[in-house]
């Protein structure tokens, strides 16, 4: 197994992500570089680097002359984010569906079982983590670098939203069913079905969160 070395910037991004999942940071809260640097025991340079990336990815909102804040997303912004991810992922999988091996299909099905099991046990964080692994595997066959870059930009924001709300949106069995539909569409090799199922998967969740 390769050793993954995280830069300070990556560690800052992960630290902020974990604070969001733990509800220690909420929409509207200000992110102070000096405080983050003190908490993490690092200089402010990697904090600034991380902020630039988080701003690009929509997880942080920069206000000139004021500072960095956790954004308060409007219903439209939530729907737009989910819709865009669905369009990108649907296309990515549609273009590369014939590259999935039987072992990889089995792994996708196993991840669905894990998600449903974690949901039944109310392990919210694990549902998001396993779900992230599922969707990462879905797009891993596509070699369109720019498409993957834009898809990745939306990942953390959608993970945070789903973590906060999925318990109000879907039962454990629905979590399993919705992801099995994606696997079945890939097994069918029906390109239009794949694109439609994945796009609907995201649009449905975005619409439900926006309506809360």
Q: Are residues 65 and 86 in the same domain?
A: no
State the pLDDT at residue 3. Answer: 43
**3 falls within a domain:** no
**150 falls within a domain:** yes
The answer to whether 93 touches 53, Cβ cutoff 8 Å, is no
Q: Could you report the per-residue pLDDT of 137-182, keeping only the tens digit for each? A: 999 999 999 999 999 999 999 999 999 998 899 999 999 999 999 9
pLDDT under 70: residue ranges of the chain: 1-5
Of 69, 89, 107, the residue that ends a domain is 69
Q: Are residues 103 and 176 in the same domain?
A: yes
Number of structural domains found in the chain: 2
Q: Are residues 103 and 206 in the same domain?
A: yes
Q: Are residues 33 and 115 in the same domain?
A: no
Q: Which residue range forms the structural domain that includes residue 13? A: 8-69
State the pLDDT at residue 167. Answer: 87
**108 falls within a domain:** yes
- pTM score > 0.95 for this model? no
Q: Are residues 195 and 93 in the same domain?
A: yes
Residue 50, domain CATH? 1.10.10.10
State the pLDDT at residue 166. Answer: 86
Q: Could you report the per-residue pLDDT of 2-12, keeping only the tens digit for each? A: 444 579 999 99
Q: Are residues 131 and 191 in the same domain?
A: yes
State the pLDDT at residue 5. Answer: 54
Q: Are residues 97 and 181 in the same domain?
A: yes
Q: Are residues 82 and 51 in the same domain?
A: no
**195 falls within a domain:** yes
State the pLDDT at residue 130. Answer: 97
The answer to whether 205 touches 162, Cβ cutoff 8 Å, is yes
Gap between the Cα atoms of 116 and 123, Å rounded: 10
């Amino acid at each position: 197994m390769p050793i993954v070395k995280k830069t300070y910037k990556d560690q800052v991004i992960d630290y902020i992500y974990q604070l969001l999942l733990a509800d220690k940071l909420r929409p509207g809260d200000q992110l102070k570089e000096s405080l983050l640097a003190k908490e993490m025991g690092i200089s402010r340079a990697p904090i600034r680097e991380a902020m630039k990336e988080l701003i690009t990815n929509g997880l942080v909102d920069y206000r000139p002359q004021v500072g960095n804040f956790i954004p308060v997303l409007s219903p439209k912004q939530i729907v737009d984010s989910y819709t865009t991810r669905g369009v990108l992922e649907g296309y990515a999988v549609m273009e590369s569906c014939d590259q999935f091996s039987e072992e990889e299909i089995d792994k996708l099905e196993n991840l669905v079982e894990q998600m449903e099991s974690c949901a039944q046990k109310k392990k919210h964080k694990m549902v998001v983590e396993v779900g992230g692994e599922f969707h990462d595997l879905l797009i891993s066959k596509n070699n369109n670098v720019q498409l993957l870059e834009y898809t990745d930009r939306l990942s953390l924001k959608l993970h945070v939203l789903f973590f906060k709300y999925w318990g109000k949106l879907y039962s454990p069995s629905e979590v399993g069913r919705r992801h099995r539909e994606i696997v079945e569409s890939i097994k069918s090799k029906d390109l239009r079905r794949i694109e439609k199922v994945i796009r609907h998967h995201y649009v449905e969740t975005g619409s439900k969160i926006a309506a809360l």
